[in-house]
Amino acid sequence: MSTTLTRTPKTVFELSRTGRRAWSLPSHEGLPAAGIPDRFRRASAARLPEIDEPTLVRHYTQLSERNFAIDNAFYPLGSCTMKYNPKVQDELAALFGGLHPDQPASDVQGALALLWTFERELCEITGMSAATFCPAAGAHGEITALLMWRKFFEERGDHARDTVIIPDSAHGTNPASVRLAGFKVAEVPSGPDGRVDVDALKGLLGPHVVGLMITNPNTLGVFETHIQEVTGLLHDAGALAYCDGANLNAIVGRARPGDMGFDVVHINLHKTFSTPHGGGGPGAGPLCVDELLAPYLPVPRVNRSDDGMFTVSQDNEHTIGPVHSFAGNFAVVVRAYAYLRRLGLEGLRNVSGMAVLNANYLKARVGGRYRVPYSEGTMHEFVASGDFLRKHGVRTFDVAKALLDYGYHAPTVYFPLTVREALMVEPTETESKETLDAFAEALLEIADAAEAGRAEELRSAPHTLPVSRLDEARAARQLKLRA
């Protein structure tokens, strides 16, 4: 490791020296002064760093080297689908950089054609009727759909519905979105096989139920085999069914949420459609809906006229209105469109096929040692339990940190909440057998180390990274959010 990695880096503010500059701006002769009266002017300058361009580039390049990323490491973060992001997509997205959303439609026919075509292709993939690209992330798709449900029932004069049912294994965004939409949450338990307990669901249904939000395959990586019965029960109760599409990668090209009876599904383009996640975003959470919900989709909407020209409508009778200042993360949408066109159906089926093969293979390699409680029918990810290491004084948290020393990002830990000491592993289809073998060896060696009484070594991991274990409790207690 280079010394730049082991030295504690200065902040950009510590590198700042009065009078240094990277900026380069034009100056024009003879312009009038900005006529801004004193009472509107800034009193004290923002304390931004003063830094030259070489130092700026070196500072942030050195920081970037302190990151694990898909480009430099295996990143089996369950539920997050961290797979290789094809480079050509970035180049193609940049071709649309100079467009302003207030340009007339005749200026932006290529962008509108892309949105219109991609909408139809996503509907084909999900078995739905219409789609919107406005949601900027999966959770944004969730709240958008819930606001559509709200309006749907309001227009029908059905004001008694106020409760959304969510399985105990759901992503935390689901219940948080429900609350933001002004609804209540009712939790339905999972049965012994990790799937929704249908009898318990029946007990929760009634005229107060808005709908159900469920991930399929669910967060344990297993398919909800009785999904048609579940969506049927919802519809019989006059309620609606939402598919959290975070795990679409497992079934893309092989099964469709629309065929399962869902009324709406969101797709995380930054997962299944392989756009770079940016260290926390941007994502994109387009919603695909059936005919029942299509009128309520947010604006703007792209339409095609009979002459083949594309137009944009900013309002219509039933829409919930806009959910974004413009129309969502278009730069992400372009990347995902290029990915879909690149792969076609054949490529997409190979995505789900190899993703599921990789997860099952990895499970077979480590499952003899790490218990996988809901093991039947594993798809693209599996949830192992690190509970057996507790008697040796080692927790899943320590396993995660020890994996970093092997050069692997850790799996998702302590989620879903239904598995004790959970390690949620999603290898994705872009990893080779050699990578999976080496990762399996690392997991087994860590278990060996724990059982050989080397708990202390694991509890103090990582040992080879630029920093050792960070004190999270201190960060929350002595809150310091700025330099």
Q: Which of residues 290-309 bind other proteins (CB under 8 A)?
A: 298
Asked if omega into 462 is within 30° of 0 (cis), the reply is yes
Contact between 256 and other proteins (CB under 8 A)? yes
d(Cα 222, Cα 227) in Å, to the nearest integer? 12
Residue 239 or 269 with smaller CB distance to other proteins: 269
Contact between 372 and other proteins (CB under 8 A)? no
Contact between 348 and other proteins (CB under 8 A)? yes
Q: Which of 160, 309, 364, 452 binds other proteins (CB under 8 A)?
A: 364
Residue 346 or 391 with smaller CB distance to other proteins: 346
For other proteins, what does the binding mask look like between residues 94 and 133, x meaning CB under 8 A?
A: xxxxxxxxxxx--xxxxx-xx------x--xx-x------
Residue 55 or 451 with smaller CB distance to other proteins: 55
> On the CB side of 262, how many CA atoms lie within 13 Å of its CA?
29
Contact between 462 and other proteins (CB under 8 A)? yes
Contact between 432 and other proteins (CB under 8 A)? yes
Contact between 316 and other proteins (CB under 8 A)? no
DSSP E strands, 264-396: 264-267, 287-289, 301-304, 310-313, 382-385
Q: Which of 286, 431, 446, 458 binds other proteins (CB under 8 A)?
A: 431
Residue corresponding to tokens 């469109």? 337
Sign of CA dihedral 230, 231, 233, 237: positive
Stretch that binds other proteins, among 199-207, 217-225, 234-242, 449-457 (CB under 8 A): 217-225
Closest CA to 367 of 394, 385, 393: 385
Closest distance to other proteins from the beta carbon of 3 (Å) = 14
d(Cα 479, Cα 53) in Å, to the nearest integer? 31
> On the CB side of 160, how many CA atoms lie within 13 Å of its CA?
8
Residue 138 or 386 with smaller CB distance to other proteins: 138
Size of the site for other proteins (CB under 8 A): 207
**H or E segment to which residue 243 belongs:** strand 240-245
Contact between 84 and other proteins (CB under 8 A)? yes
Closest distance to other proteins from the beta carbon of 199 (Å) = 19
Contact between 433 and other proteins (CB under 8 A)? yes
Closest distance to other proteins from the beta carbon of 391 (Å) = 24
Residues near 37 by Cβ (< 8 Å), separated by ≥ 6? none
d(Cα 37, Cα 353) in Å, to the nearest integer? 65
Stretch that binds other proteins, among 207-215, 345-353, 383-391, 418-426 (CB under 8 A): 345-353
Contact between 1 and other proteins (CB under 8 A)? no
**H or E segment to which residue 186 belongs:** strand 184-188
* DSSP state at residue 306: T
Tell me which residues in 8-37 interact with other proteins (CB under 8 A).
8-9, 11-13, 16, 20-28, 31-37
- Whether the CB-CB separation of 68 and 403 falls below 8 Å is answered with no
Structure tokens at 218: 């669910």
Q: Which of 132, 190, 218, 360 binds other proteins (CB under 8 A)?
A: 360
Asked if omega into 101 is within 30° of 0 (cis), the reply is no
Stretch that binds other proteins, among 53-61, 203-211, 236-244, 442-450 (CB under 8 A): 53-61
Closest distance to other proteins from the beta carbon of 403 (Å) = 9
Contact between 454 and other proteins (CB under 8 A)? no
Asked if omega into 217 is within 30° of 0 (cis), the reply is yes
- Whether the CB-CB separation of 155 and 377 falls below 8 Å is answered with no
Contact between 391 and other proteins (CB under 8 A)? no
Structure tokens at 84: 């290789």
Contact between 223 and other proteins (CB under 8 A)? yes
Q: Which of 340, 425, 442, 450 binds other proteins (CB under 8 A)?
A: 340
- Whether the CB-CB separation of 139 and 173 falls below 8 Å is answered with yes
Closest distance to other proteins from the beta carbon of 432 (Å) = 4
In degrees and rounded to multiples of 5, residue 461 shows phi and psi of -65, 155
Closest CA to 128 of 312, 262, 301: 262
Residue 9 or 451 with smaller CB distance to other proteins: 9
- Whether the CB-CB separation of 272 and 380 falls below 8 Å is answered with no
Contact between 400 and other proteins (CB under 8 A)? yes
Sign of CA dihedral 321, 323, 329, 334: negative
Residue 391 or 482 with smaller CB distance to other proteins: 482
Contact between 283 and other proteins (CB under 8 A)? yes
Residue 115 or 201 with smaller CB distance to other proteins: 115
Residue 10 or 202 with smaller CB distance to other proteins: 10
Q: Which of 191, 238, 295, 353 binds other proteins (CB under 8 A)?
A: 353
Contact between 157 and other proteins (CB under 8 A)? no
Q: What is the CA radius of gyration of the chain?
A: 25
Tell me which residues in 180-209 interact with other proteins (CB under 8 A).
180-182, 184-185
Contact between 158 and other proteins (CB under 8 A)? no
d(Cα 481, Cα 479) in Å, to the nearest integer? 6
Q: Which of 161, 429, 442, 443 binds other proteins (CB under 8 A)?
A: 429
Indicate the pairing of strand 264-267 with strand 240-245.
parallel
Neighbours of 299 (CB within 10 A): 17
Contact between 421 and other proteins (CB under 8 A)? no
Determine the residue type at 346: E
